Structure 1
Amino acid sequence: MSIRLGSLLDFAQARYVIHLSDGKRLVLFRLPSIEPLSISVPRTNETQDGWSYYAMEAECPHAGGPMEESHIDIEDSAYVVSCPWHAYDFNVETGESSVGIKTCTFPIDIKDQVVYLQYNVKDGGVGDVVLGKVEPVSEKVMLKNREKRVKRKKKQPASPVSTSTNDVITRTTSEDMDEEEEGLDAHSIPRYLDEHATFCDWAVHILNTANPEHKIELTTHFFSLFAQKETSPNSMSLGRGTVTPPDQPPRPESLSEVNPWEAPKPGRGGNLKSRITMLHALANIELWAIDLAIDICVRFSTFRTNTESKRELPRTFFHDFLKVAADEAKHFSLLRTRLEQLGSRFGALPVHHGLWLSATETAHDIRARISIIALVHEARGLDVNPMTIQKFRNAGDMESVATLEIIHNDEITHVTTGHRWLTWICEQEGADAVQVFRENVKKHFKGALKGPFNEADRAKAGMDGRCWSVSLENLELPIQIPLKRDIVQIIQMHKYPMDLPPEHTYISVRSLNTYIRDTLK
């Protein structure tokens, strides 16, 4: 049967989720035609202006991964999409995969500027199936002042400006500022690098960018530019080892920075103040997450495996983590927008750099960096996100729920990315990835690591609970004695002097508890 999806003008984004009345979910892709339009053999899924439309199952047949978040490549003159969870690849026309499994694809016909889906009962429908709804997949960040820039662009005559992908207009000179712009902060326009800039040039430039709005705009542009060049003969030079990342990315002076334990307590989400505090804390985390995903690329760009072959990181490593950074930029923009909708703003509350402390702790070893950042911190996010979302749902804040659900689904793919690349490195070096992970947690993670774990979403990301989560609570996790907060709180709680041997630079949580218990008997 032929199901009318809508007018061609309604499908201008790259991806849509199609909901049918029988419960089936499909992904509709809008992609540039790989070959010029053939007049003699017209393609029913192709438009006159060079766009092709494809539809496939929204869930990966392997483990149910969201194909609307898939990565797109061109192989043998055909589009191939890869599941974000476990990288299973599928041809968008045939549904065939290089790993031997297959997904269902559905023909798309374009007639008289209308898009139709060809859908058969044998494909899973029962009786008459009709369109339920069409949802565009959120892909763009919420950039500030973009509309003003577009307006100025239209008003101005030709001048040296450049236009990035995702409709972000960038200015390369200041001479074309009109009266409207003169009333704006001059720093509201980020600096874009020229066409000769390498991957690492861009990475360090973004790391050194303090303005959050500049950072998310540049990150979005950088990912689009790099991904576009990867499908062309002139791919971007990586520039391995040519520049040095900062020890810690700067933040605007207007932000009030505090120690992690001095940050505002979010509460239970029962009132507006509590929810704003939660969203503000999450926005701060996402901003640091951008830097973490970019830093791992440039800091370890010269990494080679500890093997005879000394393999360097493949280009897909840089693509994968840059995609993570672009997602984090989107997340920050969504949270910042939601804060403003609730009458607040990012920077209204103090922020901390606790997440970057783990980056500093693991700056010497990519295995440690992936273990702690992706497989501890981001995986921990999978555990707590559902509870946070439920707090907002209980408060009736469904707009924030929608934002947090987008973020949570993306975070599953980020843990997948970390798991995939730690596994790749360990396979090259003949090491056990789980053991490497556990050793790095013991050495470099400071604090409690307790359940309950979100085993379902961890499994989607490749972290099977039998290997990656069980007994983590029993690990001897070190804390540094100079972290005075912990020691002072213990002393104040028990009102008892505690003298720890000065030679004990590190002491495990379990040993510290035992020491306190024995001392206070």
Structure 2
Amino acid sequence: MATTLVDIGPLSSLAYTRYTIYLSTGKRLVLFRLPKIEASTPQVLGSNESEDGWSYYAMEAECPHSGGPMTEAHVDIEDSAYVASCPWHAYDFNVETGESSYGIKACIFPVIIQDGRVSLQFPERGIKLAKVEPVSEKVKFKHGPRTETSKGPVFLGDEATMCDWCVHILNTSNPEHKILLTTHFFSLFATREESSNPMDLGAGTIDPPEEPAREESSTVAPGAMPKAGKGGTLKSRIAMMHALANIEQWAIDLAIDICVRFATFRTTPSAQQPSRELPRTFYYDWLKVANDEAKHFSLLRSRLEELGSHFGALPVHHGLWESASTTAHDLRSRISIIALVHEARGLDVNPMTIEKFRKAQDMESVDTLTIIHNDEITHVTTGHRWLTWICSQEGTDPVEIFRSNVKKYFWGAVKGPFNAEAREQAGLHKGFYENLDGKEYKTAEIIAGG
């Protein structure tokens, strides 16, 4: 078979854990840079291993199951090999062989390190590198001179449990501190998960607050929010971005709260399965969502400042937390209403919002909103995955459980228009949400996002 050795660049230029590789044909690959897994003969380097302890793997950037972004894959070690799981439906792929436990296979591309450079082998002639882009989870922190005199955030010690961290973040009112603490906490939890000293969960040792702390701001009922307009003016776009930033700040707390509030949750035993506690991957997944929401809030807050405003300049509402309070007693209902109604509604309206900013030629905001939309598909997937897991343990139908919870705990109808494609990518087929009414109507609309 004819092949091409595509030069990616010097080894010293690769400092991120993953990169998107664009080829001259338009095809995209993902390059993983992962710590070397010690083998029986550690002194012998593989062709894809560097002397400083890193291993490099390349595979197609779209999941072969449904096109999910493998650049956002969750990477685990299983049977002494790295496995990348698609964020949409958790299809797992061995990054060295491309094989999956689901019986399908991803295309992988051998990586070769030689003379201080990184290359990958592609099974066609004449292929060239177009560009290499690092995949960044970087949060936009405030920079430049600060006018506030408050001290920085308080970081907990090594003995702090997951629940300690969650309550600490929920009780943090300063939004900048909330961003810093959330991203630090997720990084710490994820790092310790791969070590011999994972973080103690602390289930049942501390209670979450009834409502997260907030700095003083002007609040109104969700239905009383001023109309943002159609995005044709700067004032209108600022109002839209401010409303979205408010939702994303609440979304941080929602993802943190689900970890501590339901840390003692156990499934109801069925004829086939005994009662089970939540696996640790449940907490990893929701803390990853919280980390994403912190990133989203930071991006929106920064964009507001670039547009000449700031977060807190306009009224906000607490509508998402009202739904959280209504479902605080039961994990199934919390996932159903927050992740599979509110956040799924975000998938419906995000493309329309993005188009408004595109028509206004505000391409910086378009880029920010596109990042958020792509991440939110994975958040709905997380909700679908864990509701399905609970139902599989309890011998129930997730569609029936979801629809039952909407009828009990959601006001009004689950209305379209629906982004059926994005919902399907996240695991929600039409049987979940079509022709679905909740409790008697309220005047408030469905809050999109979260």
Taking structure 1 as the reference length, the TM-score comes to 0.81
Give, in angstroms, the shift of residue 448 of structure 1. Answer: 3.8
Cα RMSD (Å) of the superposition?
1.9
> Which residue is equivalent to 1:237?
200
The answer to whether residue 145 in structure 2 is matched with residue 142 in structure 1 is no
1:279 matches 2:282: no
Q: 1:105 aligns with which of 104, 108, 114?
A: 108
Does residue 69 (structure 1) correspond to residue 34 (structure 2)? The answer is: no
Which 10-residue stretch deviates more, 350-359 or 259-268? 259-268
Q: Aligned partner of 1:26: which letter?
A: L
Deviation of residue 208 (structure 1)?
Answer: 0.5
Displacement after TM superposition at 1:447 (Å)? 3.3
2:5 alignment partner AA = S
Question: Identity rate of aligned residues, in percent?
Answer: 67
**Are 1:115 and 2:118 an aligned pair?**
yes
> 1:36 deviation in Å?
7.7
State the SS of the aligned residue for 1:478: coil
Please, which of 124, 130, 133 is the counterpart of residue 131 of structure 2? 133
* Residue 411 in structure 1 maps to residue 376 in structure 2: yes
- Answer whether contact 1:442 1:478 (CA < 8 A) is retained: no
In structure 2, the residue matched to 1:206 is: 169
Aligned AA (1:17): T
Q: Match of 1:72, as an amino acid?
A: V
Q: Tell me how far apart the structure 1 counterparts of residues 43 and 386 of structure 2 sit (CA, whole Å).
A: 46
- Whichever residue aligns with residue 189 of structure 2, its letter is F
State which of 276, 298, 301 in structure 1 corresponds to 2:263. 301
Relative to structure 1, is the Cα distance of residues 193 and 476 closer, same or farther in structure 2, using a 3 angstrom cutoff?
closer
- 2:316 pairs with 1:351: yes
Question: Deviations along 1:60-91, whole A, 9 cap, x unmatched?
Answer: 11111110010011112221110101111111
Within the candidate set 324, 330, 354, 2:295 is matched to: 330
User: 1:314 offset after TM fit, Å?
Assistant: 1.1
Q: Determine if contact 2:413/2:438 at 8 Å carries over to the other structure.
A: no
- Structure 1: give runs of 5+ residues left out of the alignment: 122-126, 149-182, 487-521
Q: Give, in whole Å, the separation in 1 of the partners of 2:366 and 2:202.
A: 41
Shift of 1:11: 1.9
> Pick from 21, 28, 32: which aligns with 1:25?
28
Give the structure 1 partner of residue 448 of structure 2.
Answer: none
Q: Report the secondary structure of 2:55's partner residue.
A: strand
Whole-Å Cα distance in 1 between the matches of residues 299 and 178 of structure 2?
14
1:456 and 2:418 correspond: no
Query: What is the deviation of 1:188?
Result: 4.1
- Normalised TM-score (structure 2): 0.93
Mapped partners of 1:59, 1:66: distance in 2: 5
Separation of aligned partners in 2, 1:97 and 1:57: 14
Stretches of structure 2 that go unaligned for 5 or more consecutive residues are 446-450
Measured against aligned partners, the alpha-carbon deviations of 1:251-309 in whole angstroms (never above 9, x if no partner) come to 112x2222222323211111111111111111110000000011111111111112162
More deviation in 236-245 or 128-137? 128-137
Task: After superposing the two structures, state which structure 1 stretch, 372-381 or 423-432, moved more.
Answer: 423-432
What whole-Å deviation, never above 9, does each CA across 1:139-179 have from its counterpart, x for those lacking one?
1111225x89xxxxxxxxxxxxxxxxxxxxxxxxxxxxxxx
Residue range with higher mean Cα deviation, 341-350 or 291-300: 341-350
Partner Cα separation in structure 2 for residue 273 and residue 23 of structure 1: 38
Say whether the 8 Å CA contact 1:20–1:131 is kept in structure 2: yes
Q: C-alpha distance in 2, partners of 1:188/1:326?
A: 22
| Deviation string, structure 1 residues 155-206 (Cα, Å, up to 9, x no partner) | xxxxxxxxxxxxxxxxxxxxxxxxxxxx874534100010001110101110
Question: 1:450 offset after TM fit, Å?
Answer: 1.2
How many Å apart are 1:130 and its aligned residue? 1.1
* Aligned residue in 2 for 1:83: 86
Change over 3 Å in CA distance of 1:74–1:453 after alignment to 2: same
Residues 378-422 of structure 1: CA distance to partner in whole angstroms, max 9, x if unpaired? 000000000001111111111111111111111011000101111
Q: Which letter does structure 2 place at the counterpart of 1:89?
A: D
Counterpart mapping for 1:210-221 below 5 A: 210-221=173-184
Q: CA deviation at 1:430?
A: 1.3
CA offset at residue 25 of structure 1? Answer: 0.9
1:417 and 1:471 mapped to 2: Cα distance?
Answer: 24
Residues of 2 paired with 1:37 and 1:392: CA distance? Answer: 55
1:470 matches 2:434: yes
Q: Which residue pairs with 2:9 in the alignment? A: 6
SS of structure 2 residue aligned to 1:5: strand
Q: Is the 8 A contact 2:403 2:433 kept in 1?
A: no
SS state at 2:56 partner: strand
1:453–1:469: 8 Å Cα contact kept in structure 2? no
Secondary structure in 2 matching 1:452: coil
Q: State the Cα deviation string for residues 12-44 of structure 1 (Å, max 9, x = none).
A: 111111111112110011112222896853222
Q: Which residue of 2 aligns with 1:162?
A: none
Residue 360 (structure 2) aligned to one of 386, 395, 398:
395
- Does structure 2 retain, via aligned residues, the 8 Å contact 1:82–1:89? yes
How much does 1:218 deviate?
Answer: 0.7
CA contact (8 A) 1:14 1:31 kept: yes
Mapped contact 1:257–1:351 kept (Cα < 8 A): yes
Q: Which runs of 4+ in 1 moved over 4 A?
A: 36-40, 183-186
Query: 1:5·1:131 contact (CA, 8 Å) conserved in 2?
Result: yes
Go from structure 1 to structure 2 and tell me whether the alpha carbon gap of 1:184 and 1:224 turns closer, same or farther (over 3 Å shift): same
Q: Distance in 1 between matches of 2:311 and 2:413?
A: 29
